[in-house]
Amino acid sequence: GQNIDQPTEMTATEGAIVQINCTYQTSGFNGLFWYQQHAGEAPTFLSYNVLDGLEEKGRFSSFLSRSKGYSYLLLKELQMKDSASYLCAVRDQNFVFGPGTRLSVLP
Amino acid sequence: ETGVTQSPTHLIKTRGQQVTLRCSSQSGHNTVSWYQQALGQGPQFIFQYYREEENGRGNFPPRFSGLQFPNYSSELNVNALELDDSALYLCASSWGLAGGNTGELFFGEGSRLTVL
C-alpha cells in the first residue's frame, strides 16, 4: 500500500527555524518532493531528493533517508509569508501526496 | 504563475449530474495529470495523460474519465456526481511522465466543485 504521514499542524514564530517531518511507506520510490500550497492557491514546487542527504535551497532545505522512509523540510528565518500548507510527495509511477502540514507563522 | 490554466474556477452541481473540467497545459509540456483535493487533505492522483492516452490511474471509479487533445490540453469528466465528489480539482502539467526528468509538476489554480 501507499502511506505518507505528516503532522497536521505546526506553529512557529517569525525568524525561527521549523522542521516538518514526513514518513512514507510506498511500493516504489523515484524521488521525494516537497510542495508549498498557500490557502486557495495551487501547490508550487519547493525541493526534490532522490539520494540520501541534505539538499539546500536558500532558506529551505530538505533531507532524505531512504532506508528509514523519512524526510524533513527545514525552513530557516521564518517569514509571515511562509504560512502555508507543506505537502510531502513520493514519486513512483505517479505521485502520492501526504495530507499536508499547515504551518502558521506568528509575529 | 505556472502558465497552467483551468476552467471553470468554481461551479455548483447537483447529485447525479455530469461535469466537465478543462485544463490548458504550460507551453512545451506534453503530460497532464489530474488530482482531487478534499478540504484539508493532500491531492489524490486521479489519472495522467501522455500523448493523448491515459497512462496511469489512481483509485477512482470509471465515472471519472478524461481526454487529452493534440495541443496537450485536457478535460476531466465526472458522471453521476455524488456528494463526496465535492473538492478542488487540480490539473498539473509536465514534460514527460510523472514530472519527467526534473519531477516537477506545474499546477493550475484548480476548479472548485460543489455537489449539492
pLDDT of A92 > 90? The answer is no
Q: Cα–Cα distances in Å, from B30 out to A46, A71, B34?
A: 22, 30, 14
- A94/B103 touch (CB, cutoff 8 Å), yes or no: no
Q: Does A43 contact B56 at a Cβ distance shorter than 8 Å? A: no
- For the cut 70, the answer to whether the pLDDT of residue A1 exceeds it is no
Cα distance between residue B76 and residue B89, in whole Å:
9
Q: What is the pLDDT at residue B99?
A: 78
CB atoms within 10 A of CB A107: 6
Searching chain A, which residue's CA lies closest to the CA of residue B49?
A94
Q: End-to-end alpha-carbon separation of chain B, Å?
A: 31
Per-residue pLDDT, A27: 87
Amino acid identity of residue B87, one-letter, is: A
Res. B59: pLDDT tops 90: yes
Top-confidence residue, A40 or A68: A68
Chain B residues closer than 8 Å to A42 by CB: 2, 4, 90, 107-110
Residues in contact with B74: Cβ distance below 8 Å, sequence separation at least 6, in sequence order? B22, B23, B25, B32, B34, B49, B66, B67, B68, B91
Q: Measured between CB atoms, does A51 come within 8 Å of chain B?
A: no
If DSSP codes are grouped into helix, strand and coil, which group holds residue A50? coil
A46: exposed, middle or buried (C-beta count within 10 Å: 0-12, 13-18, 19+)?
middle
pLDDT in tens, B62-96: 999 999 999 999 999 999 999 999 999 999 999 87
SS3 B11: strand
Name which of A24, A36, A93, A94 to mutate to probe chain B: the one with the most chain B Cβ atoms within 10 A of its Cβ. Answer: A94
Within 8 A of A92 by CB-CB distance, chain B residues are 98
* CB of A20 closer than 8 Å to CB of A72: yes
Q: How far is CA A37 from the centre of its chain?
A: 11
HEC string for B34-99: EEEECCCCCCEEEEEEECCEEEEECCCCCCEEEEECCCCCEEEEECCCCHHHCEEEEEEEECCHHH
